Chains A and B, each alone.
Chain A
């Protein structure tokens, strides 16, 4: 089955620790995206990547980092510099930047205490 997988579904960390969220797609899509969702707010873009070895900051990139070493993988690291990391994180992909539909993974809920 083609799709986007995110793991783990739930993640718990202590404050001050870095944590990496996984996102893998087998849709052969060039573009990948990371969003953050908080209660009562719309999705906000953290980082996006149009091609391998290239990525750009979104609207709320501070405290996050990404890499894009393979077309199918776009991991997100939430660093200790992120002031309010507890949220629902969603990964998405699209065939290419432009007018193409975005497809989303099932999400990872991160709780930092």
Chain B
């Protein structure tokens, strides 16, 4: 069974610092990996999707890398802002599961002004 881990569960950084969030997964047989943002009481907003054949994806201040062989992905957020405060969720698309996603529990981020 695919296990997805995000450590630490919560972190605080001062405004302007770069954020580095890590995601690890146990089974390298994945279709893709998706990073989401969730604000309190809200749904999930897709940030980046990395296909299994890709090494990274970038969107604005966000960059996500994927190392399938080692079962890791990293989300970088450059020059963090208070508006980046949210929970960030990592999800892997299961190769055997009809686009089913296995989710980590998330990194709760607070950016301190």
Binding site for B on A (CB under 8 A): 4, 6, 31, 33, 40-45, 48, 50, 56, 58, 88, 90, 92, 94, 96-107, 109
Q: Which one of A33, A45, A98, A104 lies within 8 Å of B43 (CB-CB)?
A: A104
Question: In whole angstroms, what is the CA distance A90 to B100 when docked?
Answer: 14
Question: In whole angstroms, what is the CA distance A44 to B4 when docked?
Answer: 12
Binding site for A on B (CB under 8 A): 4, 31-32, 34, 36, 41-46, 49, 51-52, 89, 91, 93, 98-106
Q: Smallest distance from the beta carbon of A30 to chain B beta carbons, Å?
A: 10
Contact indicator A104/B45 (Cβ below 8 Å):
yes
Most buried by B among A102, A103, A106: A102
Q: Which one of B41, B43, B89, B100 lies within 8 Å of A105 (CB-CB)?
A: B43
